[in-house]
Every structure is written in C-alpha cells, then in structure tokens.
Homo-oligomer: A and B are copies of this chain.
C-alpha cells in the first residue's frame, strides 16, 4: 500500500528508486510472475548494493507484490483468476463507495475535468481502435473517480489493486470485445455525480465493475487454459 504523498527525498534514495524500478520490471513483465530473483542479481541489475535492493524487496513484500524467501530470493507473486476475483470484488465495493461519495460532494467539488477528459480519451482510443490507449484512459477514469471520492485510504488500496489488474489486463487486452458498454457506464456515472445522485452513481459503477470483472476473469481462465 502506498500511503501519503510521494515525498521528493524518496526520489533521491536508492531504496525508493529500487522500489520504483522493481515495480516497473514487474509490471512490464521483465520479471515474470512466479520467477525468483536473488538480491545480488537484482543489485547488479539496478547498479546498486544489496542493501537498498533488499529494503525495496521488503517494502514490496509488505505491499503484497512479492514474497521474500530466504535463500530463494524475491519471488514475483503470480496473479491467478482466483486472485483477480478477490481484487475485483474489492474494487467493486470501494470504487462504488467512492462514486457515491463523489456524487455527495458534487456541490463542493465541481472539478470533474479529469473524469471528462479520460472519457473523451477513451472515445478517441475506441475510434482509433487503440486498445492500450483505451486501457490507460480507463485506468485514469477510475483513479480520478476514486480521488473525487475523497477517501485517501481507498485511493491507496485501489491503486495497489490497479497494479495487479494492469498485469492481468496486459494478457487479455486483445481477447476482449471492443469496450462499448463500458463507455455508457462511465458516462452514466459522470452524469450521476454531476447531478449529485449518490445512489445512482453507486449502482451504475457497482454494476460496471462487476461486469468488467466477470469478463476479465473469464478471459483469464481461458488464457490459463490455453497455456496448459
């Protein structure tokens, strides 16, 4: 879990740089799920000593991305369809709550440009049939929505879960149908927030995540089946 604002001194420290680097390597797939990596090896790869690498590994373990086992190195935790089910169940509840809270706070918080922009970015990506751009904008939409909800801990938790979803989505991005229904849902949520209708925002977003989750998990299971 990534709490608090990103402090500037973190960027100067090798430990936190290692966290960022390792995250990048994990999400890009260069460190594949299930693989083990020794501290020495990673230290050489990142051009630093074992100390900051080791500290980074422990932080990533505390965040649930890897497992540190003595003498076997840092293991990149695989994400099974069962894991993804757990994650989507959580995202569904917490994001729907955030949507409702965003709608309740709509009076004070009128800046919905982030939501609007991500929706229009998704439209453009859909026209251009650019799946990756669509996925990026979709992620921005969800992040913006959760941010509007105003609960920092929900932001931290969903950001962590989004990390995992990104890994799964990379595998299934080109298997799914063009996300047209998603677009309607997003617009519906935005309008409900504009109107200050918390109940509608919650209901639409809850259904949206539930459907998207079922779709992704179905694809994941098929994907795993094909791999066997």
* In the bound complex, CA of A157 to CA of B87 (Å): 12
A126 at the interface (CB under 8 A from B): no
Bound: A83/B4 CA distance, A: 12
List, in ascending order, chain B residues with CB within 8 A of A93's CB.
93-94, 97
**Contact among B54, B152, B160 with A55 in the assembled complex (CB-CB below 8 Å):** B54
Given contacts A1-B1, A3-B61, A93-B93, contact A86 B15 (CB under 8 A): no
CA distance A67 to B2 in the complex (A): 11
Q: Is A173 on the interface with B (CB-CB < 8 A)? A: no
Q: How many residues of A contact B (CB 8 A)?
A: 36
Contact residues in B for A156 (Cβ distance below 8 Å): 64
Contacts A93-B93, A94-B93 given; does A15 touch B58 at CB 8 Å: yes
CB of A67 within 8 A of CB of B157, answer no
Pairwise interchain contact A157-B154, C-beta atoms closer than 8 A: no
Residues of the B chain whose Cβ atoms lie less than 8 Å from the Cβ of A83: 153
A86:B154 contact, CB within 8 angstroms: yes
Cross-chain pairs A/B with CB under 8 angstroms, 5 sampled: A1-B64, A4-B67, A9-B70, A15-B58, A86-B153
